[in-house]
Amino acid sequence: MIRKTIKNFTQNPKNDILSGLTVALALVPEAVAFAFVAGVDPLVGLYGAFMMGIVTSLFGGRPGMISGATGAMAVVMVHLIQKGNEVGVGLDTPVDNLGLQWLFITLLLVGGIQIVAGLFRLGKFVRLIPHSVMLGFVNGLAIVIFLSQLGMFQKTVDGERSWLMGYELLIMIGLVLLTMGIMFGLPKITKKIPAALTAIIVVAAIVIYGNIDVSTVGSFIREGGGEGLQGSMPTFQDQIFGLFHTMNGHWDLIFSTAFVLAAIGLIESLMTLSLIDEMTDTRGSGNRECVAQGGANILNGLFGGMGGCAMIGQSIINVNSGGRGRLSGAVAAIALLCFVLFGAPLIEQIPIAALVGVMFMVVIGTFAWSSFRIINKIPKSDAIVLIAVSAITVWQDLAIAVIAGVIMSALTFAWKNATMIRARKRIKDDGTKVYEIWGPLFFGSTTNFMGKFDVKNDPDEVEIDFIESKVSDHSGVEALRGIVDKYQSANKKITLIHLSPDCKRLLLKSNPGLDAVIQDSIDDPRYYVVSDMLDNEV
């Protein structure tokens, strides 16, 4: 146990430390940008990224996975914050930043919901996500990351954002390509030096010592309305103050926002965990990750951070840079805090172009290029799901795309299985007609099942054999009861053979008189019916 714990903490300290530093550098503009999206001070996003990162790296279910402030949650937070600020302005004694205090209270609820999800072991449901949804998810994610970086090719002039032109654009593109070139070429020479960190240092040195006027982390923050990487965190008094002013009939908004944020955070985190599992050929714990995410969000609510969830792009950077242990995530979080507290002047000089180049390489590594090759080889339904999830990810949100993809896949699966049920018919020597059922009997196939029988023209004795069929749910059980009633109403003898014990029990539970039509056999199949499993769990 101790050996496994140490192995999870770090397998290669050098790689974990260097990859953690690389991730920390890339986290700064990401956290700042998402803070602007949510409408909060950049420091709230940076401190939130630190708290999310340190808790999940040490206690989460996936060593090497990175968490922090994310855009998917930021776009939900902004409505809550705006509403809170409007309420604050309208009070008899106006309150500044009331929306931010509402956010902190909401994060406490978000954390509680996520912890409950982990304790009830809901993290296992990520295994139900089909491969076509995963492919669409990563493709859509790559496009989202790419599009998010295009905004870095703009500048603010007189309060308006405009695209870079001429010399400025050429310099930006050149530095981005240089970063990407170093990241592509350096691993072919040596893998002992992290390519992403080397690229950032080289490009930053060229800009600083060459006195090149380009957008930097510091200028990016100031253009967005911030004052740099200095400041102080909100205090407990802020949270208490916000709680006091929340009591006036706004809990419905806070609760609804909390549930949405909790769902988005868990879906993104569990999807990231699954993706990193696939990349590293290892397996993390979804339930443990749910609890860790919840604890981190509660900590954010208490100490004034923005909250968040797993960051897919940063996690991929970490894994590709060699970070596989918990040490890498811990180093990233601690380094981020140190940057804010002690290294702000240096970090603010890092050119945005270097970080854009790193993210473009993440895009190239994230996109499932194989999907172009297999798109004509997989079932059309899977191809549609793949494309739809990619499009919805770009159009709406990662969480919405995954939910939509799972629903589409489930409906496709149900439709296909609904048409699979068959009934082979034969007549015994004594004149008894036998229906040999093949295929699953469930809610989607009950109509086809009922249509297989000719009650009016069948002989007086009929057998229905389920040796090659599975009654999967309560709808299937009810279909059996219905067909028995039809034959009995026609004064014909009906016998059911090769039913599972579970199915027999459900039939007899509500229809004790059916005992006479069920024939027991030593080779009866053994499986559970969904409705009975639910009854047992309750």
Residue 102, token pair as written in the block = 């509402």
The CA-based angle 58-105-253, given to 5 degrees, is 125
How much is the pLDDT for 527? 66
What CATH number is attached to the domain comprising 461?
Answer: 3.30.750.24
The type of residue at 340 is V
Number of domains in the chain: 2
Residue whose entry in the numeric block shows the structure tokens 């093949």: 438
- Same-domain check for residues 182 and 324: yes
Is 399 domain-assigned? no
Q: Which of 500, 510, 496, 508 is nearest to 530 (CA)?
A: 500
Is 403 domain-assigned? no
- Same-domain check for residues 339 and 191: yes
pTM: 0.71
- Same-domain check for residues 147 and 65: yes
Write out the residue range of the structural domain in which residue 494 sits.
419-537
Is 179 domain-assigned? yes
- Same-domain check for residues 316 and 354: yes
Alpha carbon of 21 to those of 8, 13, 244, 310: distances in Å? 19, 12, 40, 18
How much is the pLDDT for 532? 52
- Same-domain check for residues 385 and 431: no
Is 401 domain-assigned? no
Is 228 domain-assigned? yes
Q: In 3-state terms, what secondary structure has residue 490?
A: coil
CA 347 to chain centre: 30
Is 476 domain-assigned? yes
- Same-domain check for residues 313 and 434: no
How much is the pLDDT for 231? 54
- Same-domain check for residues 363 and 481: no
- Same-domain check for residues 360 and 463: no
Pairing of strands 160-163, 433-441: unpaired
- Tell me the DSSP string of 243-311: HHTTTTT-HHHHHHHHHHHHHHHHHHHHHHHHHHHHHHT----HHHHHHHHHHHHHHHHHHT----EE-
Residue 148, token pair as written in the block = 């998010």
- Same-domain check for residues 102 and 163: yes
- Same-domain check for residues 438 and 344: no
Residue 95, token pair as written in the block = 């309150």
Residue 370, token pair as written in the block = 């194989």
* Alpha carbon distance 535, 538 (integer Å): 5
- Listed in sequence order, the residues at least 6 apart from 206 whose beta carbon sits closer than 8 Å to its beta carbon are 175, 178, 212
Residue 214, token pair as written in the block = 């380009």
Going from the first residue of the chain to its last (538 residues), give the mean pLDDT of each consecutive group of 10, the final group possibly shorter: 61 89 83 75 87 94 91 81 82 74 90 94 78 85 82 79 89 94 89 80 92 85 64 54 58 87 88 87 90 95 90 87 90 91 81 86 83 87 91 81 87 84 91 92 89 92 90 87 92 90 81 82 68 47
Contact 225, 36 (CB under 8 A): yes
How much is the pLDDT for 502? 80
How much is the pLDDT for 535? 47
How much is the pLDDT for 473? 84
- Same-domain check for residues 424 and 363: no
CB atoms within 10 A of CB 126: 20
* Alpha carbon distance 459, 428 (integer Å): 11
Residue 13, token pair as written in the block = 């300290």
Is 372 domain-assigned? no
Alpha carbon of 334 to those of 218, 233, 340, 437: distances in Å? 20, 16, 10, 63
Is 374 domain-assigned? no
Residue 98, token pair as written in the block = 């009331």
CB atoms within 10 A of CB 14: 11
* Alpha carbon distance 249, 253 (integer Å): 9
* Alpha carbon distance 146, 301 (integer Å): 31
* Alpha carbon distance 133, 510 (integer Å): 40
- Same-domain check for residues 362 and 437: no
Contact 441, 435 (CB under 8 A): no
b/e per residue 287-322 (b: at least 16 CB within 10 A): bbbbbbbbbbbbbbbebbbbbbbbbbbbbbbbbbbb
